[in-house]
Amino acid sequence: MDRIIFPYRAHSHLVLMHVINECGAWARQDLDVDYKRVISREDAHELVPSAEVEFVSGNHVSTYAARARGDTWTYVGQSMSNNNISLITREDTGINSLADLRERKVGTRGNHPYLNAWLYLKQHGLDADKDEVELVRRVQQDVTDGSDTKRKSLADMVKDKEVDACFLSRPNADFAGRDGLKVIPLDPQHMVFYMTMSTSKKLVDERPDIIERVLKATIDGISFFKQNKEDTIKILMEQYDNDGVLDREIAEMLYDDLAPKLEPRLFPSMTAISNVYQEALKQDEKNGDAANIHPLELWDFHFLKSINDSGFVADLYKDNPGMLKGYGG
């Protein structure tokens, strides 16, 4: 059995990673995966290219500029391409739609989530760069620093009237609704986010067997997730408490949100790649290095094509072939 290190960049990825582990998908590929650890962006860029860390779940934006500077970061698979988000606000704000955010304060956090908010608003007619809406970025604690310091959540910022609104996905949107905030469902954002199979060209070249087995295990785990609702909900309730304890209602809503979005073949959508590339350009606009990299340059799909052509995916869904439909684009 091969042992690999597969840390995550955001704890929300653990929802899927726990299911992959608990259903035995890693073990079926003869893998012992150390995934219950977080990694900083800086450590990821240092340790993945050298293959000291074999995989990272995430690191979606900074990699394009890094490639222009000689980095060998390589994406080999993507778990989903649509982010279902809701607009969270208070009843007293008069906000009922995105259009009502003009000249309002919207709370954001981190790097990629901040850019997601910036891009989503821009694509819906509100450009923060032109002061049409104000993005208030929450100082985000580095989750790798070991501190017990609690930062105020985006929902609490809305509740305490520090901002007028924020964007949240499940389960945080559901917790916000329970706490008395107004939850307005929005159209999904097409984005490379969540659990991504990120590795290095070094590992691709030297251990293609590991790449293939990790991808097969992830595909297997997603198949289990989609086809075994009750068992998956049980795993979520027992294993995932990073956003708060999941009761049956919240766990089922989280399942119903994620299951249809999970990509059974691990191919990202072209719109998702285009959108994350726009964020890479924004993040690196002062240096302009990301603009020298093609949006597809970091992606290596040949493992997925081989796995899909072999019939591996179709066999997993032989009892539910309809679950493979609707994932084009």
Which amino acid, one-letter code, is at 135? L
Look at residue 146 and tell me whether its pLDDT is greater than 50: no
| Burial bucket for residue 222 (CB in 10 Å: 0-12, 13-18, 19+) | buried
Dist CA 263 CA 23 (whole Å): 18
CB 54 within 8 A of CB 2: no
Residues linked to residue 67 through DSSP beta bridges, in sequence order: none
d(CA 191, CA 276): 6
The DSSP bridge pattern shows strands 134-138 and 86-89 to be: unpaired
The top-level CATH class assigned to 2-81+192-324 is: alpha beta
Report the percentage of the chain scoring pLDDT > 70. 96
In this structure, are residues 200 and 74 in contact, taking their beta carbons and an 8 Å threshold? yes
What's the DSSP call for residue 83?
Answer: E
Asked if the model's pLDDT at residue 142 lies above 70, the reply is no
Q: CATH 3.40.190.10 in the chain: give the residue spans.
A: 2-81+192-324, 85-187
**Number of CB atoms found within 10 A of residue 147's CB:** 10
Q: What would the pLDDT profile of 47-79 be if each residue is shown by its tens digit?
A: 998 889 999 998 889 999 999 999 999 999 999
- Indicate the pLDDT class of residue 149, thresholds 50, 70 and 90: very low
pLDDT at 140: 53
pLDDT value of residue 124: 97
pLDDT of residue 107: 96
Backbone angles phi, psi at 106, to 5 degrees: -115, 125
The pLDDT, as a whole number, for residue 144 is 42
Q: How confident is the model at residue 261 (pLDDT cuts 50, 70, 90)?
A: very high
Yes or no: domain 85-187 corresponds to CATH 3.40.50.300: no
Q: In terms of Cα–Cα distance, which of 276, 219, 225 is closest to 254? A: 225
Give the whole-angstrom CA distance, residue 20 versus residue 32. Answer: 12
The answer on pLDDT for 256 being more than 70 is: yes
Q: Regarding beta strands 105-109 and 165-168, do their DSSP bridges make them parallel or antiparallel, or are they unpaired?
A: parallel
- Tell me the pLDDT band of 238, cut-offs 50, 70 and 90: very high
Tell me: the pLDDT tens digits for 171-196? 899 999 999 999 999 999 999 999 99
Q: Each residue of 20-30: pLDDT tens digit?
A: 999 999 999 99
Report the 10 Å Cβ neighbour count for 227.
15
Q: Is the model's pLDDT at 104 over the cut of 50?
A: yes
